[in-house]
Structure 1
Amino acid sequence: MALKFTTSHIEDALAIFRQYKLLGERAMAQVSDAQLFASLDEESNSIAIIVKHITGNMRSRWTDFLTTDGEKPDRNRDCEFVDPPATREALLSEWEDGWARVFGAIEPLTDEDLARVVTIRGEAHSVMQAINRQLAHYPQHVGQIVLLAKHYAGEQWQTLSVARNKSGEFNRKVATGEASQR
């Protein structure tokens, strides 16, 4: 993704969220249905469990973002780590719903809204702090998804960024305008 120069925190946050949404999707597309639900060991989460957790967080944090606590009373965080949706389609439907809530809550905001107060677990946060909290949280989990997908895909893995040992070639293409950055 090409960097768009901006001084708007809202605009930049939305671009980063979109970048990580796409990164997760591109990683999940490279694994089989069975691999989405596989765990490396008893203490590890599958890709599906990670998706269930972050989408549960997204539903809680971004539903009625400005008017209700970001930790909704009906959220059961512990249940997010068991029994993921049974199919790829159901999992991706939850993924889309979660991201729709993120974008639906942030897109109407302006940078003037950044100083407004919202609560998460009863603690006051500025809107900027609440956004930044999730800008740290979701990429962490998308990184886990990418790592697991890369592990499962093995030699079939298609890089999601600059390929190993190809930085010089990539930089030359960027400098000459031949390459589009992801």
Structure 2
Amino acid sequence: MSDVKPRTRIQERNRGSILEAALDVFSQYGFRGATLDMIAESAGLSKPNLLYYFTSKEAIYIELLETLLDTWLDPLRELDPEGKPIDEIMGYVRRKMDMSRDYPRESRLFANEILQGAPRIQQDLTGDLRKLVDEKSKVIRKWHEQGKIADVDPYHLIFSIWALTQHYADFDVQVRAVLGDKDPFPGASRHLEQIFTKLLTP
């Protein structure tokens, strides 16, 4: 029987406030630039109170990354081997665009970690992520062998989808500086649908 007591509503609320504040701070300043003082201030808590919930800045960062990576894999997990190939791949593109629109801070947090060499999630990248990409790449390759899509390298197709969708989160400031007040996502979604449909059509 576990001796761990369930968290109270206040404890859950405070943990949530800390993680939400940390997401803001880490996505803006990166791991090195962020401090516990900045996170505590953003969460509306004292630093000692923050340290009651998390023992270190790294503990907060790792919890955010682990939650994020699992969320990040969900759109690819939904790729159905029994579905219509082009529809399935375009559905994946749309889900990734939705994530860039709805979770820009999370995307930038992940990008910052990768740019640092992924020291805290390297095992996850070579484990769960690689396994999933291998699995879905086999599906895409089989679709080509069946004549249902054009001949594409499945790994580089997935990389291209990541690059072209996550750009709108990671480089949001640049995109909006060029487009002004115009919402980039409707036009971006149409453009990517055109690119990948043409690429994949046999």
Q: Judge same fold: TM > 0.5, yes or no.
A: no
More helix by share: 2
- Between structure 1 and structure 2, the one with the greater Rg is 2
TM-score, length of structure 2 as denominator length: 0.27
TM-score, length of structure 1 as denominator length: 0.29
User: Using CA pairs below 8 Å that are at least 6 residues apart, which structure has the higher relative contact order?
Assistant: 1
